[in-house]
Amino acid sequence: MKKSATLSNNGALQVRLTQQTPFALNVSLQCARGELLALTGPSGSGKTTVLRSIAGLNHTASGYIAVNDRVWQDTETGQFQTAQQRRVGLVFQQYALFPHLDALDNVQTAMSHVARAKRKQRAQEWLTLANMDGLQHQMPHQLSGGQRQRVALARALAREPDVLLLDEPFSAVDQLTREKLYRELAQIRSTLAVPMILVTHDMLEVQQLADTLCLMHHGSTLQSGEVENVMQRPLNARIARLLGHKNVFSVKFTNHGVGGRLHAFGTCLDIPKPASSQWIPADGDQVDILVDPSAIIMHRPDKPSNGERENPISTVVAESVCLGNDVALKLKVESTGESIAFRLSRHVAKRNSVTLNSQLNVSLLAEGIHLMPHLA
């Protein structure tokens, strides 16, 4: 299937939505052509409401939605295109296939813009792209959950959308099928030149699939940007915890030469020199910090570290839980009793005799300590 013949050549999606009732909403996001934006946050944050608003199924009190130079909603000028007028591909969590139609006919229901004589061939091409070749005449009840989701994706793509919306599309399938669908979506993405928005609660899914991230809570955008930047540099401790981070602490900042020091875990930790544009606390300020899991380094018992900026901490293993090939540890800092979450592969833990109640010395690498304003 040739990309130039089948896919829309549209630009970025821009969304600004506000309302007070029946659900408070204050959301701003944009998604570039060919980009996948993950929309995430706790249940009840308003993620599905945003998706429905983009699709034209929900009309907010105040809002602006546009794709390139095509305005779908602008309450200031009174513009509002209906769902039928918008070229949107929408994939639901529970597939929403027509039970009385086979896979091929389900896809054809989204092709009213295609000449009737060409629909069957084009629908078959979309099913082939979604790895459903040979199953086009199967009824939905004859298909597995993963196969039904592939048909739903093919149907969404058959609309040749200006925007592709995915509402928790992988949550109803098992983990093995989910991993296959991840790979297939990544392959399909290489042929798409449209903005894509994925609603999900799964932060691993976000990190595997998304380019950018928009975190919502209670109907509002808390932070958005490139996935790596948001995950590693949250604006505050509340956002860090909503993103699933465990190693968030409140500490005291102390001016120290060109960089800074933190009084934490009964010692002073070095941190990187802040950028000139970065918020810099005053001497003695209470601040919050995030310690990136990748910045926690275990000292081998037979080879202790002497790194100058490695911030060595002496701990005891207070909790050890096997999770597949990994071991999740809770380390109790000997000098203060504070807990640090740490994860090791099982073979590394076994080789180094890391067991419950054993002593374990670790280092908190300065580059992995992120400073945030303290939330009272």
Do 218 and 303 fall into the same domain? no
Band (pLDDT 50/70/90 cuts) for residue 275 is low
Do 11 and 138 fall into the same domain? yes
d(CA 368, CA 325): 24
174, 207, 241: which is the final residue of a domain? 241
What is the model's pLDDT at position 281? 82
What is the model's pLDDT at position 3? 36
Tell me the CATH number at 187: 3.40.50.300
Do 268 and 306 fall into the same domain? yes
Do 71 and 217 fall into the same domain? yes
Do 86 and 68 fall into the same domain? yes
φ, ψ for residue 284 (rounded to 5)? 90, -5
Q: Can you tell me whether residue 28 is helix, strand or coil?
A: strand
Q: How many residues does the chain have?
A: 376
Mean pLDDT (whole number) for 59-73: 92
Residue 104 has pLDDT above 60, yes or no: yes
My answer on whether omega of the bond before 373 falls inside 30° of 0, hence cis, is no
Query: What is the tens place of the pLDDT at every residue in 182-235?
Result: 888 888 888 888 999 999 989 989 999 999 999 999 999 999 999 999 999 999
Question: Which residues does 176 contact at the CB level (< 8 Å), separation at least 6?
Answer: none
241, 271, 303: which is the final residue of a domain? 241
Residue 10 has pLDDT above 80, yes or no: no
Mean pLDDT, all residues of the chain: 88
Do 315 and 236 fall into the same domain? no
Do 237 and 259 fall into the same domain? no
Task: List Cα–Cα distances, 161 to 33, 91, 156, 164, 167, in angstroms.
Answer: 12, 12, 7, 6, 15
Q: At what angle do helices 145-158 and 116-129 cross, to 10 degrees?
A: 130
Among 104-108, 148-152, 177-181, 265-269, the range scoring the smallest mean pLDDT is 265-269
Band (pLDDT 50/70/90 cuts) for residue 280 is confident
d(CA 273, CA 258): 6
What is the model's pLDDT at position 366? 87
Q: Per-residue DSSP letters for 224-270? A: EEEHHHHHHS-SSHHHHHHTT---EEEEEEEEETTEEEEEETTEEEE
Place of tokens 């089948």: 6
Do 327 and 224 fall into the same domain? no
213, 241, 269: which is the final residue of a domain? 241
Residue 9 has pLDDT above 50, yes or no: no
Question: Which residues does 1 contact at the CB level (< 8 Å), separation at least 6?
Answer: 125, 126, 128, 129, 191
Number of domains in the chain: 2
Do 364 and 227 fall into the same domain? no
Do 17 and 124 fall into the same domain? yes
What is the model's pLDDT at position 73? 96
d(CA 67, CA 87): 10
Query: What is the tens place of the pLDDT at every residue in 235-259?
Result: 999 999 999 999 999 988 886 555 5
Among 42-51, 108-117, 244-253, 268-277, the range scoring the smallest mean pLDDT is 268-277
What is the model's pLDDT at position 193? 85
Do 11 and 116 fall into the same domain? yes
Do 212 and 353 fall into the same domain? no
Identify the domain containing residue 10 by its residue range: 3-241
